[in-house]
Copies of this chain bind each other. A is one copy, B any other.
C-alpha cells in the first residue's frame, strides 16, 4: 500500500494560521496528531465510513467526526429527511412540528425519560443539567470525575487552564472514577450542599486507558444520590446511542435523573438534547435557557431519521461487533510483531495503547503509519466505530495495521 502525502492540507493550514487562532483549534487541532506529517488536516469529501482529504487521499475513518457520524457520512435516509425538512422550513420565528415529534421519540426511546430539551452543543446540555439540578435542589456544589470531560464552559475546565478562574471551580468537587468512598467522603464534607453528581457512563479520558464501571459502582452511586437528595446526571454525549439505543444507563443498569446527549443523535446534523425524568421537569421549566438556532427543524428531522435507522438496523450491535473484530484482530497482529496492544473502553469506541511505551512514541508512530496508509486513527483519544464500517473495512484496516506494525518494527 502506498503512503500518503499532504501538500494541499499543509498549504491550507498555512493560510488558516494567518486568520484563525491556532489555524485549527480545539479537539480538531493538529497539535496532538504526531507525527503531524502522517496526518491530513482538511477533509474535502465524505461518504459512508470514509473521507477524502484535500489531497485526494482516502481514509477509512475511525474518528467519525469525533462521534457525530454513526450511520455513515452523507447517509441517504438521514439526508433525505433533512432535505425534505429544509425545503419546508429550518430556522424560523416559531419551531416546527418536528420538535414535538423528536421529543416524543426520545421520551419513548430513552429509558426513564419523561421529557427532552434541545440545544446545539453537548456543553449546552451539561450546563442546562447543572442549572436545573441547582434549581431543583437549591444547592450549589457539583461532583465530577477527575479527568472527565463535559465541555469547555468555564465550570467544566480546571483552574490553571487559560481564561479559567479559581471562582469558576469554586463549587466543583472532583473525585476519582470508580471510587464510591470518595463520593461518600465528599457528601460527608459537604452535607446538604451537593446539587448533582455528573459523570460519563464509563470513564473515557484522553491520554489514559478508558475504564468501565466496577461491579456495582453505578448502583452504589445511585443509592448515595437518592439517600442524599443529589441529582444524578449522565453525560452520555460521547457514548450515547453507541452502547444502547435506550441510553448508556440502560446498558449499565441504573436510573439517572437526567441524561445529556449530542454527537450520535443526528449523524452530524447539529443538535444536542437534555432528557430527564418527570420529577425534574418543573425545575427544568424554571431555568431560562435558549439559543439562536436551537429551534431549527432540519437537525430535528435528521435526529428522528438517525434514531429510527439505528433502531431498524440494530446499529449498536453492528458497532460492537465491528469494534470487537477490529480490536481483537489488532491485538493479535501486534503480538505477531512482539508488541502488546492494550484495548480499553467499549468496542464501539475503543481506546488503544501500545504497552511498554513510556515516551508514547511507539503508539503515536503506529497510529500515524496506519493513517498515512488509509486508516485514520488518533493516538490518545478513543476511536469511534459506526454502523457504516463493513467487515471488509475492518479486514482492510487490519491489513493496514499489519503493515504499520511492520514499518514500526523496522524503524
Interface residues of A (CB under 8 A from B): 12, 15-16, 18-22, 24-28, 40-46, 51, 53-54, 59, 61, 63-69, 73-74, 79, 83, 86-97, 99-100, 103-104, 106-107, 114-117, 120-124, 127, 130-132, 134-135, 140, 151-155, 157, 161-165, 167, 170-171, 237, 262-263, 268-270, 272, 281, 283-296, 299, 376
Contact = CB atoms under 8 A, between A and B. Distances in A.
A163 B287 contact: yes
29 contacts: A15-B104, A18-B107, A20-B116, A24-B94, A24-B99, A25-B290, A41-B94, A42-B94, A43-B94, A43-B95, A46-B90, A51-B94, A65-B93, A73-B89, A74-B86, A120-B121, A121-B121, A121-B291, A130-B163, A131-B163, A134-B165, A152-B291, A161-B287, A161-B288, A162-B283, A162-B287, A167-B167, A263-B292, A268-B296
Given A12-B97, A43-B94, A131-B164, A20 B69 contact: no
A97 B163 contact: no
A158 to B, nearest CB: 10
A233 to B, nearest CB: 13
A114 B67 CA distance: 32
Given A19-B116, A127-B153, A268-B90, A95 B292 contact: no
A16 B99 contact: yes
Contacts of A42: 94-97, 99-100
B64 A25 contact: no
Number of this chain's copies in the assembly equals 2
A67 B268 CA distance: 24
A99 B18 CA distance: 12
Given A131-B154, A162-B288, A163-B287, 17 more contacts: A16-B103, A19-B100, A19-B103, A19-B106, A21-B115, A21-B284, A28-B290, A41-B94, A42-B95, A42-B100, A46-B88, A53-B94, A65-B92, A131-B163, A134-B165, A140-B165, A152-B290
A302 to B, nearest CB: 10
A299 to B, nearest CB: 8
Contact of A61 (B93, B99, B120, B299): B93
Contacts of A281: 21
Contact of A121 (B66, B170, B292): B292
Nearest to A121: B291
A140 B86 CA distance: 43
Nearest to A114: B19
Contacts of A103: 16, 19-20
A46 B66 CA distance: 33
Contact of A44 (B88, B127, B157): B88
The 9 closest A-B pairs by CB, nearest first: A26-B290, A131-B163, A91-B268, A270-B293, A162-B286, A21-B284, A19-B103, A43-B92, A63-B93
A82 to B, nearest CB: 8
* Residue of A12, A104, A171, A288 with highest tally of chain B CB at under 10 A: A288
A4 to B, nearest CB: 13
A26 B274 CA distance: 15
A68 B28 contact: no
* Residue of A27, A40, A103, A287 with highest tally of chain B CB at under 10 A: A287
A237 B95 CA distance: 20
Contacts of A290: 25-28, 152
Given A121-B121, A132-B163, A270 B99 contact: no
* Residue of A40, A83, A91, A97 with highest tally of chain B CB at under 10 A: A91
A156 to B, nearest CB: 10
A88 B54 CA distance: 11
A295 B28 contact: yes
